[in-house]
Amino acid sequence: TAFIDEIHPSLNFVVVVTAFSACLLTLLVVLFAFSTPQSRKRPVFRLNVIAILMATVLSVLNGVTSGGSILDPFHAIPESVYVATIFFATFPPLFYDSILLTRLLALYPIGITPSLQLLKVFAFPMCIKCGRLVALSLYLRQFVRSTYSLQSLVQHAEATWFRNPYITAEWTMQILDNMFKLCKCLFASKMLPAFQGIPHRHHIAANTVTERIRQIFFIAAANFVFPLILNIAQLICITTSRSYAVGTMFLLSNGYVSVIGVLCATIWA
């Protein structure tokens, strides 16, 4: 019974990560199958491929750490593997969220938007992302220091989990980041011009373009909702529960959901 209780969190991680990984690999195949040579040259396409590959690396590392604790619990996993797993579980969401900023560039093109306007739009999310990067770096440093005295993944997680100030701060800033982008997309969809005063022969085409752009921003906004909900769940878990298992499950799920959301919001929107 004690052994089952010990491996239960790791088994849950393996099952959930395997399901998400299968979904992402399928999306990667579909992404290449339905793309054109021209679309593959776009930066947003390459960024999405990198995001999927980063999530795949996390899946492999999770298989090594969680799978190893199930199949060979008496064999010590190298500290570098633990550190790499934490890195790919916490840092890539910052990259995923940055990809979604490309949606705002559709409304505020760099070439024609005044510099002051760009500063007003992008200053807040960029400052938030810098703060998140600092908080994550401090947490990773704390985690690396803990590896010298702890032996198992459970001990590593529990020692740096409950009410950790760095992770709590990072997830709080992530909530603010997602709320900002959600509000921006909703605001953009409402403030699109009505194309008044244009010739009648172009009126239908103009309205079609407007409606299409509005739908794109609605889709982009919808893809912020689920990561935002999972962010809030993560924050509740880390501040109320000493068990790392549930919160880590939300963290892993949020990472994969973010990748899928980014793909839908930037490529297929």
Q: What is the pTM of this model?
A: 0.84
Query: Which of these, 15, 5, 6, 2, lies nearest to 154 by C-alpha position?
Result: 6
What is the pLDDT, as a whole number, of residue 268? 57
pLDDT tens-digit profile of 17-72? 999 999 999 999 988 988 888 988 888 889 999 999 999 999 999 999 888 888 88
What is the pLDDT, as a whole number, of residue 209? 53
Confidence of residue 213 (pLDDT cuts 50, 70, 90): low
C-alpha separations of 205 from 195, 198, 201, 202 in Å = 10, 11, 8, 5
What is the pLDDT, as a whole number, of residue 206? 47
Of the ranges 49-53, 89-93, 249-253, 261-265, which one carries the lowest mean pLDDT score?
Answer: 261-265
Confidence of residue 195 (pLDDT cuts 50, 70, 90): very low
Average pLDDT, the chain: 81
What is the pLDDT, as a whole number, of residue 4? 75
Of the ranges 22-31, 77-86, 95-104, which one carries the lowest mean pLDDT score?
Answer: 95-104
pLDDT tens-digit profile of 215-248? 655 566 666 788 888 999 999 999 998 778 888 8
Count of Cβ atoms closer than 10 Å to residue 212 Cβ: 10
Q: Which residue has the higher pLDDT, 93 or 79?
A: 93
